[in-house]
Structure 1
Amino acid sequence: MKISIRYKLMIGFLFIFCIGYAVMSFYLNKAVVDTNNSMIKRSLLSFQKELFLHVEQYFELEDISMDDTSFENHANDFAEKLSSKIEARVIAYSRKGDFLADTANANGIILNYEDLDNENKDIGYEDLRMATEDISSFVVVPVKDKYLVVYTSPILGIGERIGIVRCILDYSEVFSSSKDLLNMINTLVLIIFGTILLFMILLSKKISSPIEKLTKATKKIGEGEFDVKIDVDSNDEVGELAKSFVKMNKQIKQQIDIIAFDRDNLRKIEGFRKAFFDNITHEMKTPLTIISGYCQILIDQNFEDPQFLQKSVRKIKRESENMHKMVLQLLEASKEKSSTTIRDTEKINLSQVVDSACKDMKIKADKYQIFIKREIEENIVTIGNSAELRRVVINLLDNSIKYGDVHSNITVKLFTEGEDCHITIEDKGKGIPTDKLHKIFKRFYRINQSDFVETEGYGLGLDIVKEIIDKHHGEIKISSTEQMGTTVWIKIPQNVYKTETSV
């Protein structure tokens, strides 16, 4: 049998109402009982002090020694006088719990006097047993319209128990007030829960009605009828659901556009693949330039200096190895998509890295009569990836040569300041337009100006530089003035040390 959501909500609300009311009533009753017990305990503490005072006064006035024998011999007189003092029934017992006297002449049976119809059983003797262990206790006994508290306490003489008394106290007024209060609270809770239940039933109807309309509309769409109108006048979540449903219906009609979008995505993927190979081409160009430069020198001139020949071969070998590493890293990067950590970190001499990069780019700079001026603080050691930091300097120098003026200077500085290591590269050239400075770190972005010394490239260099600096937790900034030149500032966080200089 199919049950609608409306009736499910009503049944659920009714169940919650019953459980909530039962739990609330239980805890209210428990709270009243705990409160009454707490009041009785505080009252009995005061009563206990008064009781002990009357006991001491009795033995002093009657000039009787406080021992168990005297207590047993004067039990009836003691019980009567104590009862008149505290205005309550008193039952006296020996130190072992044997009955001695009862001011109600009921032989110690608690309910025989108050419950004439014998509707309640007697309360037992657990309190007497506790009194024989020198522990005071009380028991609440409901009898018809009355509430009695049976307080049992040992009577202590000089260093030992001489007897036990039971005092039957009437606390009906306290319990009657609590009972009236509890009934009033229960009635109020019932009214509140009933009102909430009625509200929930009306709310369930309001919620379920639009959902039923949406269900019918869904069936029609499933049958191929897309021109469905949904009349839901609501500004809440259900109304939002109806609006979303209408939008969804419209989107179903636009599947052809989604197919076209997927086609464009495939084209983008192809573009990314091409960009990856462009990146490889760009990164291989610099080491190939250095290798080509040394090879051209060796071919054009007949060198008899074995040291220069050996130096050239080492340079060519090193750049070949760098190129090999670069290809492997680019392939790895294409698999991982992105990386935010530095790989293969080590303690490196940053001064040597920067100086070596400047010397390697000197060949290309000489081609355009550009002089690389080095102001490098010696022996700056940091933690990082030497190959990546070298690529940063080479890429920036390559840009400065490419976009600098012929017969100009490029100044490279390396120094420490505070907790940071700073690299600046300043060139003299056409500069970068102010409105294009914020785009230069974007991949594949290039400034098209025909009067630069070199115009080839794919706009990947600065993007790669920024990624490397970011992985070293550094910062890179570029300022430029048209017709004046460009300055690049790089700051790498500390981890900077001074190496020891041997003599």
Structure 2
Amino acid sequence: MKHSIQFKMLLAFSIVTFIGFSAFLLAAYKINEQNNSQIIHKDMIEARKTLDNYLKQYFLIKDTEMSKLSFATEATNIANVVSTQMGSQVTLYDAQGKNITSPLNKANLDNKDLSTALKGETAYTINHSEEKVMVTLSFPVKANDHVIGIMRYSKDYTEQSKYTNRFQNMIILFAVIIFMFIYITSLILSRKITNPIRKLTRSTEQLSAGDFVLHIDIDSKDEMGELAQRFKQMALRIKEQIEIIEMDRDALKEAQSQSKTFFDNVTHELKTPLTTILGYSQVLKDNGFTDRDFFEKGTSYIIKESQRLNHMVIDIIELSKATSDDISYYMEQVDLSPLIKETCDEMRMKGKKYGIRIHYEVEDNLTLVGDKDKLKEVIINLIDNAIKYGKVNSIIRVEGSHTGTMITLKVIDQGKGIPSEYITNLFEPFYRIPNIGVREKGSAGLGLAIVKSIVEKHGGTIEIDSKVNSGTEVKLSFKENPHA
């Protein structure tokens, strides 16, 4: 059987409240009972002392020695006098438990207090009969360390019992009123909580029907209001996601188009040197070696284009490796400081061909986790680009430093610079900046694409900042991982 949240909340509140008030009433009853017992106990102690004093005063006034005989002889008078003084009935018994105040009334030895007093001890019992509550106190009367009789005192506690009962009834009434108040409050509160849930449930039906523009009239400034707002946001997000999914076909077509462009570029780049090689090879085959100058020129072109083709194939393979998730890097602790210095020293010879000096400023202990060979490939590629595009008789600055918890590597040249509209395309495979001179021909435009992939595999970032006629700065950032 299905129960609503409101029903479950009301049931839970009712059960918890009922158990709480039951425990409270039980505790109140026990406390009242203990208080009554303590009051009676104190009264009986005081009554025992008072009765002893009145008994002694009686014999002093009579100037009679207290003995078994005098106690029995004066029993009726003693009972009357002491009863008057105490305001409650006093009865005397002999040492065997016989009523000597009213001889016709036999002793009721079933009363625990009387039975206990006959054994030489003081005791009292609380007796409940119909609507009355009586407490009887019995204690032995001694003379010369001998028990000469029993004195029994009775006191009516009916009024106190009624007062206690009235107090208990008031507590019960108060508990019932509070319970009803809590129940009604719970009913109102549960309805206030569940009404928004019902509205949200109806909204889910609206969502399932394909309507994502929800009008939920929940304006409370609490969690339910926040839930409603987030529910509407979720519906809008779903709508946005559906729109994105609907645009996936176009995105897929675009990806296919880019893939086709990539392969077209590869085909074009490979076709050019192959055409040259095949052309000269065919001519050399047809003409033989009769024309020595043409033979030298042809073989030179064949070798040059073969080398360019070889470099291009290697770059394509490297790009494939760099972007593939299946190729694993040999990651270890690498200190970039000596690696940067070593690479700069190796590239100086190439820079001298164009009067370009390589100057480095590198801090010590630039330590990170990475593949040493791949990181060196990155540095070589960046310095090589700076040489290709740098001005003759200029300086290439290589800087390595700590920046907070990051390692920063910069390669700065003094070349012609790159127009800002081309910078975002520099990391695309086979992309070349139009109308910009390059010192060495044969580049396939894959270097920066490979660099970007390697840097990202190391958790780093690459940024290019360039100004026309002022030079270009390439900045790499890696998270530092110093030795423990």
TM-score normalised over the length of structure 2: 0.50
TM-score normalised over the length of structure 1: 0.48
Q: Give the greater-gyration-radius structure (CA).
A: 2
